[in-house]
Structure 1
Amino acid sequence: MTGEAWPVPDVLAYLAGSWRVERTVRDRAEDLTGVFTGTTRFTAAAGGGLLHVESGVFTWRGVARPAERTLRFLPDATPGTAVVRFADGRFFHGLDLRGGHHVADHPCSADLYRGEFTVDAADRWRTVWRVRGPAKDLVLATEYHRA
């Protein structure tokens, strides 16, 4: 990592394509750590934007299981930025990487998800989600490398 954010003038153009993913999930309440490895593909979505499909294997408590998720990244009103929605259309968060770094909050029931997105280079970015509340105390750190 360079330690400095790399500006992205158009988040959807930057993300388009395939990425290798490595994620560490740390449950701070139980002092447990799990690992997800797989791929994320950002492909053109019907109606515009990108369809984000992540698939791989999540290992938790020594048990490896297939895991996947789908999100939609849609153009936002400000050029170069995006709105991220869950597969069912619910709002997740905004995303503005024009400065190479973005912080987003997502309340989920009584828990708060705070995500930090940082672009390190043309082929590398990362996220760190901190989840705190009565039900969760997690840190999810993900590294993305262009495939």
Structure 2
Amino acid sequence: MRQLSDFLGVWSLERDIRQADGSQAHFEGTARWDADDDGANYLEMGQLVMPGQGQFRSERRYRWGNDLRVYFDDGRYFHSVPADGGESAHWCDPDQYDASYDFGQWPNWSCQWTVRGPRKDYVIVGRYSFLQRFSEEDG
């Protein structure tokens, strides 16, 4: 069973994005969870490579609660990470985002998002590998 303190630190992150039409993109970078009083701030940074379109700097920020609820950086609720791994979801009208977390090879783990909507049809697979652990006191 995972808890927020398990994620604190820096992780290597690779993400593959596969569109239904067969096109693909690839992200490589790091993901970092920094603890604070009531959860952790998440920051991922890296390079997104889109064949035929080039390479771009990419960055995302989220807020993780102690209960593994994830929020967008503007405070809106995103989804809950299942502590034992498994399924989660997010509805963003008109699109459905379905996640599957796999913690079976901890501290290596993955999350797959399947996205479907009127103009969206793709799968994102993110693979995280431990780099550097922080304790809650390191903040």
Asked if these proteins are the same fold (TM beyond 0.5), I'd say: yes
Q: Is the 8 A contact 2:89 2:98 kept in 1?
A: yes
> Who is 1:61 aligned against?
51
Which residue of 2 is the match for residue 14 of structure 1? Answer: 6
1:37 aligns with 2:28: yes
Looking at structure 1, the residues matched to 34 and 109 of structure 2 have their Cα atoms a distance apart, in angstroms, of 18
Q: What is aligned with 2:126?
A: 142
Identity %: 31
Q: Separation in 2 of the partners of 1:70 and 1:114?
A: 19
- Give 1:31 shift: 1.8
Q: CA deviation at 1:34?
A: 0.3
Instruction: Tell me the distance in 2 between the aligned counterparts of 1:96 and 1:108.
Output: 20
Map of 1:105 onto structure 2: 89
Query: What do residues 95-135 of structure 1 show as CA deviations (whole Å, max 9, x unaligned)?
Result: 222x3x12111011211000001113332110000001111
Q: Does 1:127 align with 2:111?
A: yes
Tell me whether 1:27 sits opposite 2:13 in the alignment: no
For structure 1, the residue ranges without an aligned partner over 5 or more in a row are 1-7, 77-81
Given the alignment of the two structures, is residue 95 of structure 1 paired with residue 86 of structure 2, yes or no?
A: no
What CA deviation, in whole Å up to 9, does each residue of 1:36-81 have, x standing for no partner? 0000000113x420111000000113410000000010023xxxxx
8 A Cα contact 1:127 1:141, kept in partner: yes
User: Following TM superposition, by how much is the alpha carbon of 1:92 offset from its aligned partner in structure 2, in angstroms?
Assistant: 0.2
Q: Equivalent residue for 2:64?
A: 73
Equivalent residue, structure 1, for 2:99: 115
Report the CA distance between 1:11 and its aligned residue.
2.1
Q: State the partner residue of 2:134.
A: none
Runs of 4+ in 1 over 3 A off after TM superposition: none
Instruction: Name the CA distance, whole Å, in 1 between partners of 2:63 and 2:105.
Output: 23
Unpaired runs of 5+ residues, structure 2, are 132-139
Aligned to 2:118, what secondary structure does the other structure show?
coil
Output the TM-score relative to the length of structure 2: 0.88
> 1:115 and 1:124 mapped to 2: Cα distance?
17
* AA of the residue aligned to 2:77: F
For 1:15 and 1:50, the matched residues in 2 are separated by 9
